Structure 1
Amino acid sequence: MPRPYKPRYRRRLPHLQPQGGTFFITYRLHGSIPVKLLWKWKMELEKKKAQIEHQAFNEAVLRKKRGEAYWHYFFERYDQYLDSNPNGPYWLSKPEIAKVVADSLSYCGEHFFYLWAYCIMSNHVHALLSLREGSPPLYDALGRHKSFTGNEANKLLGRQGDFWQHESYDHLVRDNESFFRILNYILQNPVKAKLVGQWQDWPWTFCSAELLP
């Protein structure tokens, strides 16, 4: 039986999870970003948000400005740091580990959510998904996926301890324009990182056939 629905919860990153929504998800390997750096970005984001709050915007503009601030002052730095791969770990670069994650995402895509796209990089994963009617809340479905893949990956690596960072980044996708902008962002991640010339060449990128021409 699923745990009681939590519409909002917080670790270090903000989460807003209405049931039945479409989400852009990013989760990463444990220890892949230094805690001090995360807090530096967070403090700079809070400073920018405070500046926005003092300006005379209506609610719609204020929500947009908050989203833009989060993207530019936190998420872009977060993702660029992961793509630059300065410190490791890089366990997802091992094909046998990436396959565990890909297979689990496919399973979850059949049982918990509609899986539109994903990209597995060496230390993080991006995914675009919509929750199925009657499925567990996002935090529950993603938690099951991370628990299973973390345990299986640790067996293959012959190690113990945390595999994934506990908190994940999740962004509620509100309209079609945002959906396709995020879809392109996910597919182009290995291209932007100069790992391949086109997204179809990256072995750990998936895009639903429904979205392809």
Structure 2
Amino acid sequence: MYQLKTKRFWRGQLPHWEVESGVYFFTIRCANTLPQSILIRLEEINSNISGIEPSSENFLQWQRIYFRTIEKYNDSGSGFCPFKTPECAKAIVTELRELSKRGWTVSEYVVMPNHLHLLVETHCGSAAMSQVWTQWKGRTAFHLNQILQRKGAFWQREFFDRVSRSESETERMVRYIRENPVKAGLPKMWLEDPWAGNLKDWDC
């Protein structure tokens, strides 16, 4: 088991638990990809998570319920799907590399048609989660909207993050990311997907 030292716990539409030198699973969705019925269900789940201690098993259970609720929509390719455009997919992979400059290293990733799955490692002295992702989402939204010659919301307002509590959980997260394109019926193997891979060995 990892020794998790809390740096901060904060809430937007979702609760976010930030720890020292953590390993996180992130899902970042594009805007307008979930039906209204699911958005209402997610609000109900969020209200149940409110006030629960983030290091508790109860918090972990509610996170699992949240993720299962949206999982089938993650793979359906519904709604706004900008990453079907190769130029957008290539641009977002380049932007993931930039995160290492703020102390957030993307060690595994997959770019799906309307969302991203990431395994991210933080380091001592890394910039705050809310600051890093707010700025990153704003910068990438502007750039990608330019590529698509469109205006309006690009990303869903919030992102889902889960802290890994053990090496075995990290391994499960990696398997999920690697197998996600196959599960969604995209390439036959995840390595065939040009927008999936490992950035850990890239120069910072």
TM-score (normalizing by structure 1): 0.80
Asked whether the 8 Å contact 1:131–1:138 carries over to 2, the reply is no
Distance change >3 Å, CA 183–CA 45, structure 1 → 2: same
Structure 1 residue ranges without an equivalent (≥5): 1-5, 54-58
Give the secondary structure class of the aligned counterpart of 2:100.
helix
Q: Aligned in 2, Cα 1:44/1:132: closer, same or farther, shift over 3 Å? A: closer
- Corresponding residue SS for 2:75: helix
1:110 Cα offset (Å): 4.7
Q: CA deviation at 1:46?
A: 6.1
**SS of alignment partner, residue 26 of structure 1:** strand
Task: Structure 2: state its 5+ residue gaps.
Answer: 1-6
Amino acid at match of 1:37: I
| CA deviation profile, 1:183-210 (whole Å, cap 9, x unmatched) | 1001110011111111111111012567
Q: Which amino acid aligns with 1:29?
A: C
Task: Tell me what 2:4 maps to.
Answer: none
Residues 1:173 and 2:164 are matched in the alignment: yes
Structure 1 residue 148: Cα displacement: 1.4
Q: Among residues 96, 113, 124, which one is paired with 2:87 in the alignment?
A: 96
CA distance in 2, matches of 1:105, 1:209: 11
Larger radius of gyration: 1
Aligned-partner SS, 1:17: strand
Q: Could you tell me how far 1:112 is from its partner in structure 2?
A: 2.4
Select the structure that is richer in helix.
Answer: 1
Shift of 1:41: 4.1
For the Cα contact (< 8 Å) 2:97–2:199, is it kept in 1?
no
Seen in structure 2, the aligned counterparts of structure 1 residues 27 and 203 have a Cα distance that, compared at 3 Å, is same
What is the root-mean-square deviation of aligned Cα atoms in Å? 2.5
- Quote the residue 1:85 is aligned against: 77
- The TM-score normalised by the length of structure 2 is 0.84
Q: What SS does the corresponding residue of 1:126 show, helix, strand or coil? A: strand
Give the number of aligned pairs: 193
> Alignment identity in percent?
28
